[in-house]
Structure 1
C-alpha cells in the first residue's frame, strides 16, 4: 500500500494515485479541492466504515487504505463484492440518491481516510463538472467489472473463474516473492467464493485443482501465492497484461 503525506492545504505532494481510482482521475486542483472538503480520520483493522442498511450519507475517500466491500444476501450469506484501495471513493451512491447503504465496508488494516459530508460532496460535483464526469466513468467501469464476473460465471467452471479473479487481484495488489506472486490480500475461502459466486467447498475444490497444476499454493493462513502468472493466465483463457499496463478491474 502506498503511503505519502497529504499536505495541510489539501495537496497530495506529488503523489501518484493508482490508475482508475477516483483521485487518480482528477486534475491536481480538483484533488486539492476535494481533500480540503473532508475531515481526515484514521481507523484500525476490521473497523466497519460503512454498514449495510444505514441511512448515513457521508462519502469516504480512501487516502491510505485497503477495504473489503461486502453485502448480506436475503438467505443470510455474506458476499464479498469488491476491494477498494487508496484513491478510491466509497459511499457515493447513498450521497447521490439518499437511499440506505447497499453494502458494508470493512478495513483490512489500519487506514487513513477523508470523511466528506454528502451535501458537501454534491456541491463539489456541481462546481467541478470534470469530477462529475470522472465519477460517471468510475461507476461505468465498476458496472463493467460486475458484468464481466457474471459472464465468467456463465462461461467458465469454478477453477477458471477463480483463476481470472486471482489474476485481477494480483495485477492490483500482488507482491513479488521467491516462489512467484503473493496475492497481497488476506482472503478467506468464503470471501473468495463471494467474488466468484461459489460456495466455500467449491472454492476449496477449485484451489486444489490449481494447486495440483502447480499454479498456486497457500503457504499460510489466508495467503495465496501464484507461481506463474503467464501459466495461470493461459489456464484462465486471458491475455497477461504487461506490468506497466493499468488494470481495469476492481476499481
Structure 2
C-alpha cells in the first residue's frame, strides 16, 4: 500500500508503528503527507558509512544491521528510525545500515525531517529520546 497517497487511510497504517505511538490521526495524516515510501530487498545498503546524509528513515517492516567498519553494532526493526543523526549535525554518516530482510521504509528528506520536528513536538521528543538512549548505550556523556 502506498500509504502517503491517502493520508486518511495512512493514519491507521502508521498508528501500528512504535515510533508513531500516541500520535493523533491528524498528526499521522501529516506524517504521511510529509514522507515517501521505499522498499528494499535483503542485502541492500540503506545507508553507507561516510556518505553525506540527505534522508532518514523509519522502518515500517523488516530488519537491518547497523555496521561500523564492517562490525555489527546493532540490529534494528519496525519502529526504529535510522539516518537522523546526519540530518541533525550535518556530518557524514557514522555507520552503515544493511537490510537483513526485505524492508519497507518511510523516507524523509532533510526538509521533510525538519518540518516533522517543527510541526510535531511528539516526533521531536521521540528523536531526542532515541539519540539520548544511543549515547547512554555507547557510554557517552550523561548526567548520572
TM-superposed CA distance for 1:23, in Å, is: 2.6
In the TM superposition, 1:41-56 aligns within 5 A as 41-56=38-53
Residue pair 2:15, 2:23 contacting (<8 A) in 1 also: no
Describe the shift of the 1:126–1:15 C-alpha distance in structure 2 as closer, same or farther (beyond 3 A). Answer: closer
TM-score (structure 1 length as normaliser): 0.49
- The two structures, once aligned, show a CA RMSD in angstroms of 2.3
Greater Rg by CA: 1
1:16 aligns with 2:13: no
TM-superposed CA distance for 1:129, in Å, is: 1.9
1:109 aligns with 2:101: yes
1:141 aligns with 2:133: yes
Provide the rounded CA distance (Å) in 2 between the counterparts of 1:88 and 1:101: 17
Describe the shift of the 1:56–1:137 C-alpha distance in structure 2 as closer, same or farther (beyond 3 A). Answer: closer
Provide the rounded CA distance (Å) in 1 between the counterparts of 2:133 and 2:56: 19
Q: In proportion to residue count, which structure has more strand?
A: 2
Q: Structure 2: which 5+ residue stretches go unaligned?
A: none
Other structure's SS at 1:99 match: coil
TM-score (structure 2 length as normaliser): 0.82
Provide the rounded CA distance (Å) in 2 between the counterparts of 1:68 and 1:41: 17
Other structure's SS at 1:61 match: strand
Report 1 or 2 for greater relative contact order, CA contacts < 8 Å, sequence distance ≥ 6: 2
Provide the rounded CA distance (Å) in 1 between the counterparts of 2:55 and 2:103: 17
How many residues end up aligned between the 2 structures? Answer: 136
Residue pair 2:118, 2:124 contacting (<8 A) in 1 also: yes
Provide the rounded CA distance (Å) in 2 between the counterparts of 1:85 and 1:92: 16
Provide the rounded CA distance (Å) in 2 between the counterparts of 1:14 and 1:38: 12
